[in-house]
Structure 1
Amino acid sequence: MRAGPLPFTLDPLPGEALETWLHTYAARLGVPTLRLIQDLSLPDPHGELQRGRWRRPDPTDHTIAALGAATGLTTEAVRGMFDAESHVPQHTAFTAWAPRLASRFCPACLADGHWSPNWRLRLQFFCHNHDVLLADRCPGCGQPPSAPPIRPDLWPGNTSLLAGLSVTGTSCGCGHDLAATDPPSCSDPDIAATAQGFVDDLLTGIRGSDRTPAARQDALDALSDLSLIAAHIAADLAGKTGKQQVVVTAPMLRADTLTPAATILDHHDATADPLIDLVAARAPSRLVHKAVPHTWASGSPTLRTRIAYGRSRSMTAIDQLRHAITLPAPKLLPHRAADRVDPAIERAARLPDQIWVNWAVRLGQGTTRQATTFGPAALVALLLPHSDLQLKPQIIALVNPAIDAATVAHHMVRLLNLPTGTTALRILTELAFAIDDHDTPIDYTRRRRLATGAELIDDETWNSIAHPRLGRGQLTVNARRYLYELLTGGSLYIAPPPHRLTRRGAIRDQYRTFVALMTTDVRDALHAHARRLLDSARITGEPLAWEPPTSWATTRNWPGTDPDQTDPAAIHDAILERRLPVQAVAADLGFSIEHVRAVLRRHPLPRPPHPIPAQHTILPSTPSAISVTTTGADKKTFHVDPDWLREEYLTWWRGLPDIADEIGCSLFTLRAFAHTHDIPIRTRTDSHSNIDRDATGGRHPSQFPQPLRDALRGTSTRQRLERFVTLAHQPSINQAAQALGCNPANLHAQLATLEHVVGVPLIHRYPGARPVGPLTPLGQDLCHQAQEHLGISPILPTT
């Protein structure tokens, strides 16, 4: 620190940050801020003083005591500036606002013998006394004239300065009479006067002693935004591309930039926002669809939120979630402080690795294929609102690296294009902020540590719970998976071994059947066992399972159905009395299969369904007939025409699981029957060419025309067709990928797969820079059929 105290003490205002006070102090002393920082020997923790920048040091006891001794402030006053929660702009902005040795001037005021210290500020460009712009340079030497050697007041509004100080001479150092200078031309003095008044109010409000800390922060934010807008206008006038970060510098603050900047910042009309046009003009081409380009990232929450809402029509679903523009009213983006804990980090520590089952159904997720990836994708979406972290890898790494970023974007686009529009994304946004505002009663991180790698239940305990007909030992692994889901609320498809499930196959189907047909007594016994596991781990005071109440979202018109509003009696009756499989129950009652499964989880069957046959037999029958003969309490004989099976399996490319569901027998029994009658079973690789029963919605392949029927072969066929229809309505693959929220390379690969299963090109190829042309005639047919028979709509750029 300097050897002695400073000439006078400047008391900080309540809630004032160190940086604002320091720059004000330097202005009152008439020295540059960096000179004052050096004189006070303030630590430079980031080594930036040599580059003309500075960031506050850590508030050590030594630093606080020495700063108080040099400035005459108490320890409490100095520590209060370090602890202030106010946000300050970058040091370069303060430097641009600081008084300078040179001065602008009003020739008429000088002729009247008056000079204003405020003219030393770059933010002063208009004289209210004479309604003219201030002159910047002496016409004689072309240089800014020197200011009189007096101590200025940084903040206009001081009554002693309104009339200006008396001056005895009006000549520049070169001898030219400044009072005889013609003021710069001004096309609209009224607009310039309004802009200068707007700036003066902000300068006054930054350290207005009659203002609250929040009001002073608002004034500081607005002045920072004004300077940022002026910097962009100056860069635009200079013909710069805007590819680099815009830094506010003193030469950018002049009449031709501050006047339109003030008009833009103070825009409140219902007409088109001029700020959005400026952002679009200044955004690099690669960031044209980005909600808030990086050159505007230093703006205040108000400015960045205004930009995001103004550019919402060109934003992806991910960016709409990130900037919370799906809400009915704007919610300000937080300050981008370096020491701010990102909300995604805080939320992820309190959440499971997938969204809660009933919330997934309410959001419109309803098919088996979507269920495997939607839950984790929706959970990632909950971390996005107001987060500055990148989706991949930062946010996804907070949940599980196994989650695919393109899958997250795909599901969000699907939600956005539901008939309910942005309702689903609004619900996710409201739920994310509600999680910030409410306590969650379960420590999911601790639960995952308990369940990872643990056996959870052994064979002996399971055998004491399970009914003999359930299979006991062979289903212990399913009981363990159920306990893992119950305890962690997590997804089995990204769970650690040994609990992880594959997204398709007999093991997955067996587990789903196990959970759907679980009875109340078995469920209660497993829940009691889970409670004992928690107690043994000293996890008390938490509910066994939990999900947020629906009141955390404001909507009452859910995109999907609400399992909580479903009477389970009809589902129980269909399974127990009518003996329908779960998929048939869903189709019969008009629910999605995931809706039925969610209801059965909450309301298990009161008793086991019909006894599981110990032996199934399939015998040849008359052509095109399927019949069942019950030969005992636990034995059934199915009569199936082998030619019918051959046609269904080989001609129509139906999968054996699909056919087994229709017959009512097990997959293993049907496979043995096919082998007996020399029906070749497709290999595991060839089975990927089966007709996708999830995409057909339960309809027979014969109900679909060609080439759509061939396009339905394989897995993820509906996604491929959705992307193909969107591509057909976009001018290029890159623009289609932008609308879909996926990687262009993935879109290329899916188009190639679709053309492979159809057997012909769907899009014309041309050499050169635009290799993708219009649809071929067969491609046009496929596009129309996908829209007509599957209800697929293109995702347009406006989404």
Structure 2
Amino acid sequence: MTRWTADHIPIRVPPIPGEGLDSWLEALARRLAVTATELLRFMGMPTARPRLMVRQLTAFENDVIVRRTGVDARTLTAMTLWPWNGSVVTIDPETRMMGRPPAWRHYGTDTRFCPTCLEEDHGRWQLTWRLPWSFACTRHGLLLLDRCPGCRYSPVVNRPNHTRPARPGTCLYGVGTGRAVRCGYELTRAPAVALPGGGAVLAAQREVDRVLLGAGRGTDSALARGQELYVLARHALRAVHTDLPTAPAAVHGVLAECGGTLPALAKRQEANDAHNVAIGTALAAIASQDHHPARDEVFTWLLASGRRQRGPKTNLTASAGQWSLAGPKVAARVLADMDPELGLMSRVRYGSATTTPAMPTLPRTQVQRRAAGTPAMLWPTWTMQLLPTDATRAGFLPGFRRTCASMLLLTGSNAYDFKTASALLGNNSVQTSNRKAFDAVMGGQDPTRLAAALASLARALDDHPTPIDYERRRATFSQSTIDFDIGAYAQLCRTQGLRVTPRQVHRLRHQLLHLLLGAHPGAASRAPSWYAEFHYQLPADTREFLHLQAAANLARHHIAEPVHWEPPTRWLDGAHWPGVTPREIDQERFAELMAAGRAASEAADLLGIGEDHLRLHTEATATTALRPDPPRSRHRTHIPRQGPLAPDRLRELYEEQGLTQREIAALAKCSATTIRAALDEANIPVRDGYPSLDIEGITTREWLENEYAHKLRNSPDIGRELGISARTVLTMIARLGIPRHPTSYYSSPFAHLDVVLSPAMRSVSLTKDCVQRLRRIVQLPGHRNVAAAARALGIDHGSLHNQLNRTERTVGFAVIKRASPLAPTERGSDFISEARNLLELLDTNTP
């Protein structure tokens, strides 16, 4: 028989798999017929506390237990919470106090339990029951219990100051004033919810056991998965309480698995009992598992619930930031859902229109590197592909290109807004004008494909080195610093039989600087008026001369870079472009048209592309049209006037028939200016003023006053009906003393419908473009928000928003409630009904 010694206890009680240190000490004490406090005192640790030891052992405690019991140090450490410190629990190594865990608010000071495990293991407690992520027993398929059914307190494994050994499997919580008065409830008989073996809750617990609590705990991937599950679980628990009627079947299935009751709510946040954690984690696992059949519908439900909770005035980017705590995969799905609600700059920043949206995380230095590789105006080939084919506003192309280049710097970072990003490229001095030019070019275009392409190009620039440092070029070259070899140019002009003129040299220096900077000098949203035709017809030898001059300027500053470079279009193979790609252009036909010297508008029509797209293609390919031969004579050949403009015929029409110059111009199909010139050439005196007006022969005062002052028709409309000019109508109004309309007045489009308008509709009908605005406003109800409505109507979000605001300011009340979905206000409902009736009448009665 082994004898007792001061350093060794001969009776052994080996730990069971997964047991906590305090549970094992309690079992050893029971085996020795003493309390745990007496055991620790006997072992030489009278001040030791099992509730602290189970968190972390001190070096002294570890050494004593190893020496007295023979259990090795590794086994002892595995029986404490220390291996999960930092990943699942938070323990102060100095005080062994429990801090806020990374997920949930179950600190690990209390333990959950499975009654069947306690019964089978004779009252021995599993260590993982203390962890916040433990909510189900996969061994017996039960939902863990948080409290003793008898006293409703969290059970304790070890109670200090026992007077006798504790009975295993009973609640040791003190419920009386006496030292030995304990609850005593048989925890092994506590009722627990049985979970289906193939259900979502046990599947979630198995994943948690494998990823967060198993051998891979604490790794970056495990921490990321834990954060993802936790954030989604919190959103799911909120949605269960606020939007359960709209929840998909999978949500109701998880609730049924957990007993069919809603989880309890805490006062300030979601509760963290096993019931809450089980439901939240199971739903989070469903919403985030790639191959789960209910993945998309559960996640969509969570997003819809989040939209309703945040309200219409919530900052969308702040809302996206809350979801981003779940990690990049969840953030990407949230941003993709928010994309229709985001403005253009945010869509580019987040890449929400791409297949891989992401929260902005790039530092300022990365954006600055991207700016160094970007010209102030977007490259011509990329602009060609981004410029919508049906863009109608000509002349704003430089501003469009500058805005696109500035927006490239927004993707992936919050370091710069549009104004400061524009400053990095030198576009800041007139960045407002550039943005207005961009809006003018886009008009009512859907910017989705443009936003996706810009974000994708920005990411590609980060992944590929660029051979040109435009930041250095912008700091090096200007009109005052570039070298232009005037002697070489003069020699070139002599070979062409041309003269060297200051104007031509000025334009060539501008083009030289454009080659070096990849953009027009300065920051204007428009190019010089002469530039388009000058560049389009630049002779090939002059173009080659400028290229050599640019290379010489680079060499003088020891810059070993190509003169021009563009990112290859293969970087974004498969992208859907709103504009024209180079492969869509017939290159052979293009070369023929350039060689024939066709005008830009004619060549564009023959190629089936826009004129701006053609000019961009000539810039990208360094191709220009052959300049046509100059006219042989500058003297104009005088051609005698013919037809109504012949002197005799003109005199007859003007003097004998008394026709006005405008009436003769309409007859001759020319302008009134031409008629005036023909009168002067024929020496025909021009009449002064207007002939006397016979009002009574045209209409009556009553009719005119009713139509103009009461029906609010305008003078051109009345003039067309009476067969006279608008000027004549205004003359009649003045002579009859009828008050004129204010200068800001617009004719009511409903004047001819013979209907009585409400005061609100009357005020709207006298504003510009009221029919267009009303047609759009009546279609707003039912859409998720104004941005979604704009996308459905194919117009710009800002334009629709401004039109709605302007209409509401005109009528003096809110027409549409800014909720999700959009709905009319009480007064707005009557207004929209009236507008629908008027529009229907207008469509029916319009010839």
User: When the two structures are superposed, what TM-score results if normalisation uses the length of structure 2?
Assistant: 0.57
Alignment partners' CA distance in 1, 2:781 and 2:88: 59
| Aligned CA distance change for structure 1 residues 783 and 436 (closer, same or farther; 3 Å) | farther
Superposed displacement of residue 527, structure 1? 1.2
1:730 equivalent to 2:787? Answer: no
| Aligned match of 1:193 | 202
Equivalent in the alignment of 1:439: 465
Alpha-carbon distance in 2 for matches of 1:29, 1:326? 37
Q: Which residue of 2 aligns with 1:125?
A: 135
SS in 1 for 2:330: helix
* Pair 1:546-2:565 in alignment: yes
* CA deviation map 1:366-408 (0-9, x unaligned): 5534523321233344345444457545555544334359659
**TM-score, normalised via structure 1 length:** 0.60
Does residue 596 in structure 1 map to residue 620 in structure 2? no
The residue identity in structure 2 corresponding to 1:257 is: G
Contact 2:783 2:789 in 1 (8 A): no
Determine if contact 1:568/1:600 at 8 Å carries over to the other structure. Answer: no
Q: Contact 2:320–2:334 (CA<8 Å) still a contact in 1?
A: no
1:473-622 mapped onto 2 (5 Å cutoff): 473-490=502-519, 492=520, 495-496=521-522, 500-501=523-524, 503=526, 508-540=528-560, 542-555=561-574, 558-563=577-582, 566=585, 581-601=599-619, 602-605=621-624, 608-611=627-630, 615=634, 622=641
Indicate how the Cα distance of structure 1 residues 485 and 770 shifts in structure 2: closer, same or farther if over 3 A, else same: same
Whole-angstrom CA distance in 1 between matches of 2:507 and 2:423: 28
> What is the 5 A alignment of 1:707-726?
none
Q: Are 2:797 and 1:768 aligned?
A: no
d(CA) in 1 for partners of 2:575, 2:277: 52
Q: Which residue of 2 aligns with 1:374?
A: 400
5 Å matches for 1:736-775? 736=786, 766-770=811-815, 774=832
Matches within 5 A, 1:656-675: none
Letter in 2 for 1:308: L
CA contact (8 A) 2:406 2:418 kept: no
* Among 447, 472, 482, the residue aligned to 2:501: 472
Quick one: which of 326, 338, 347 aligns to 1:299? Answer: 326
For 2:233, which of 230, 233, 242 is the aligned residue? Answer: 230
8 A contact 1:323–1:386 mirrored in 2: yes
Aligned-partner residue type, residue 813 of structure 2: G
**Aligned counterparts, 1:31-42, within 5 A:** 33=90, 35-36=92-93
CA distance in 1: counterparts of 2:101 and 2:127, whole angstroms: 20
Match for residue 260 of structure 2?
Answer: none
Which of residues 88, 93, 102 in structure 2 aligns to 1:94?
102
Match of 1:598, SS state, is helix
Q: In 1, are the aligned partners of 2:287 and 2:299 still within 8 Å (CA)?
A: yes
Instruction: Please tell me whether the aligned partners of residues 384 and 617 of structure 2 are also in contact (alpha carbons under 8 angstroms).
Output: no
Contact 2:112 2:147 in 1 (8 A): yes
Q: Within the alignment, does 1:218 sit opposite 2:224 as a pair? A: no
Equivalent position SS for 2:530: helix
Give the deviation of 1:783 after TM superposition. 12
Match of 1:274 among 295, 298, 315: 298
CA contact (8 A) 2:201 2:279 kept: no
- For the Cα contact (< 8 Å) 1:102–1:120, is it kept in 2? yes
Q: Measured at CA, do residues 489 and 451 of structure 1 come closer, stay the same or move farther in structure 2, by a change above 3 Å?
A: same
Separation in 2, partners of 1:777, 1:31:
60
CA distance in 1, matches of 2:173, 2:445: 67
In structure 1, C-alpha distance between the alignment counterparts of 2:513 and 2:843, rounded to whole Å: 45
Alignment deviations for residues 632-665 of structure 1 (CA, whole Å, 9 cap, x no partner): xxxxxxxxxx9799879x9999xx9xx9xxxxxx
1:434–1:8 Cα change, 3 Å: farther
Does residue 139 of structure 2 align to residue 136 of structure 1? no
Hey, what's the Cα distance between the residues in 1 that align with 2:481 and 2:664?
A: 42
1:146 paired residue among 133, 138, 156: 156
Partner of 2:173: 173
Change in 2 beyond 3 A, CA 1:644/1:8: farther
1:450: which partner in 2? 476
Q: Cα distance 1:736–1:556, how it changes in 2: closer, same or farther (>3 A)?
A: closer
Compared CA separation, residues 730 and 384, structure 1 to 2 (3 A):
farther
Matches of 1:434 and 1:363 in 2, distance apart?
A: 16
Q: CA 1:545–1:301 in structure 2 vs 1: closer, same or farther (change >3 Å)? A: same
Contact 1:763/1:776 (<8 A) preserved: no
CA 111–309 in structure 1, closer or farther in 2 if over 3 Å, else same: same
Q: C-alpha deviations, 1:537-596, integer Å up to 9, x for none? A: 1111x1100111121121287543344775677567657757x54233323443311232
Confirm or deny: 8 A CA contact 2:228 2:327 kept in the other structure.
yes
CA distance in 1, matches of 2:666, 2:603: 27
In percent, how many aligned pairs have the same letter? 21
Q: Which amino acid aligns with 2:501?
A: R
1:423-474 CA-partner distances (Å, limit 9, x unpaired): 5555444433322221111111111111246353569469635567577212
> Structure 2 vs 1, CA of residues 461 and 739 (structure 1 numbering), >3 Å: closer, same or farther?
farther
SS of 1:115 mapped into structure 2: coil
Assess, with a 3 A threshold, how the Cα gap between structure 1 residues 294 and 167 changes in structure 2: closer, same or farther: farther
1:12 maps to what in 2?
none
Q: 1:24 to 1:561 in 2, by over 3 A?
A: farther
- Listed as ranges, the gaps of 5+ residues in structure 2 are 1-57, 64-79, 161-165, 175-181, 244-267, 646-660, 675-680, 687-746, 750-768, 817-827
Structure 1 residue 116 displacement after superposition: 0.4
* Greater mean deviation of Cα atoms: 442-451 or 722-731: 722-731
Question: Counterparts of 1:586 and 1:552 in 2: how far apart (Å)?
Answer: 27
- Mapped partners of 2:551, 2:437: distance in 1: 33
The letter of the residue matching 2:212 is L
How many angstroms does 1:188 deviate by? 5.5
Q: 1:309 to 1:763 in 2, by over 3 A?
A: closer
The 1:314/1:501 distance shift into structure 2, 3 A limit, reads closer
| Residue 110, structure 1, aligned to residue 134, structure 2 | no
1:35 partner SS: coil
Question: For residues 645 and 502 of structure 1, what CA distance do their matches in structure 2 show?
Answer: 42
Letter in 2 for 1:170: T
Provide closer, same or farther for how the CA distance between residues 191 and 389 of structure 1 changes in structure 2, counting only shifts above 3 A: same
Kept in 2: contact 1:517–1:605 (CA 8 A): yes
Distance 1:489 1:720 in 2: 43
How far is the alpha carbon of 1:324 from its aligned partner?
4.0
From the superposition, tell whether residues 147 and 743 of structure 1 become closer, same or farther in structure 2 (CA, over 3 Å). farther
Residue ranges of structure 1 left out of the alignment (5+ in a row): 10-22, 40-48, 54-91, 151-165, 241-245, 627-641, 660-672, 679-705, 709-718, 754-761, 786-799
Q: Separation in 2 of the partners of 1:620 and 1:736?
A: 61
1:403 is aligned to 2:452: no
What number of residue pairs does the alignment pair up? 597
**C-alpha distance 280-403 of structure 1, shift in aligned 2 (>3 A):** farther
2-structure distance, mates of 1:383, 1:187: 52
Indicate the residue corresponding to 2:753 in structure 1: none
Give the residue type in structure 2 aligned to 1:484: L
Please give the secondary structure, in 1, of the residue aligned with 2:191: coil
